[in-house]
Amino acid sequence: MRSPDGLEAILLVGGQGTRLRPLTLSTPKPLLPTAGVPFLAHQLAKARAYGVRRVVFATSYRASMFAEAFGDGAGLGLEIVYVTEDTPLGTGGAIRNAARALTCPPEAPVLVLNGDILSGHDIAAQVGLHVSRGAAVTLHLTEVDDPSRFGCVPTDDDGRVTAFLEKTPNPVTNRINAGCYVFQRSVIDTIPEGQVVSVERETFPGLIAAGELVLGFADASYWLDVGTPAAFVQGSADLVLGKLGSPALPGPVGERLLLDGAVVSPEAKVTGGTVVGPRATVEAGASVRGSVLSEGCHVASGATVVDSVVGVGARVASGTVLREVVVGDGALIGPGNELTAGMRVWPGVTLPECAVRFSSDV
């Protein structure tokens, strides 16, 4: 199903991505290389396929880097404009701030996307439901095992949202806010301008209390919040493996994606949706699974890397084991180290031989 051409979107990309440090110390979360391209390239390609033609980026943290990455959007078949918050305004404030760059009339639908979500849901069907029912806002909803970490969204039999319970310890449903909204433009214009506003805690509950029609578009397709290192690695691997299709993937789906200049020994084992970045090297006897190897990094013979990120120019020496680890740019992990369970090594750090072990054998 396609939306009418000309649909405008607001893309929320102002966050600092603190949960992903050290990856986000120098790069905004939405620009982190994910399955070979900046994360947002996947979102933008999908939006373009569903009829979006104009996107307003709501930026704050390292705002200039977004324009450097995507320019005016012509290369993606889009028109992209940028609106920057001088001070963080919250989700609602950011949407209201970005709305000054919209060109659509008050009765038009506006798609609002969060810059840290991978989703396989049908955007056009969500927009179609919104338009056909004349809703004020239509929220994409998905089901998760632990809804307490998200906004819990109960609905009635007609799909009407009856409450918006942000991160409650005792959720009444496992259906949560999936972070993609369709707003009536006129509703965005009612959000106070220049103020810190949360759509989750203020705008949505306020609309419901006022009797406005807030709809839930429930969907069971692929969905992932990539806000943590483990989820970021999973999202990249899922795209490479084809668990979620993306027009932006720069190669065929498969066990691994090798980018320009990547060198992988025929005697190395690289699987599980691993990305081997430009000019990265994996030596004979190394084993890499489900990981992101960044530009110019080096994984030596006999090293094991599983569900991890190895930063730009970082080096992983022989005999090292990384499991669910983030290695910052330019770091050196000496021989015999054994890192696991969410450990993070900051950029430029050197770990001497056998400096960290989780087992006694060397």
pLDDT tens figures, 169-200: 777 788 888 989 999 999 999 999 888 999 88
Under CATH, domain 7-225 is a member of which superfamily?
Answer: Spore Coat Polysaccharide Biosynthesis Protein SpsA; Chain A (3.90.550.10)
CA dihedral 169, 173, 179, 185 (to 10 degrees): -110
Question: CA 268 to CA 293: how far, in whole Å?
Answer: 14
| Tokens encoding 231 | 């989820």
Segments of the chain assigned to CATH 3.90.550.10: 7-225
- For the entire predicted model, the pTM comes to 0.89
- CATH fold of 255-351 reads UDP N-Acetylglucosamine Acyltransferase; domain 1 (2.160.10)
Confidence label for 2 from pLDDT (cuts 50, 70 and 90): very low
Report pLDDT for 5. 54
Q: What beta strand segments (E) does 194-280 contain?
A: 214-218, 223-225, 256-258, 263-264, 269-271, 274-276
pLDDT tens figures, 58-85: 887 777 888 888 888 888 889 999 998 8
| Tokens encoding 143 | 């089901």
Q: Which of 29, 46, 167, 269 is catalytic?
A: 167
- Does the pLDDT at position 206 exceed 50? yes
167 has catalytic annotation: yes
pLDDT tens figures, 311-360: 999 999 999 999 999 999 999 999 999 999 889 999 999 999 989 888 76
Segments of the chain assigned to CATH 2.160.10.10: 255-351
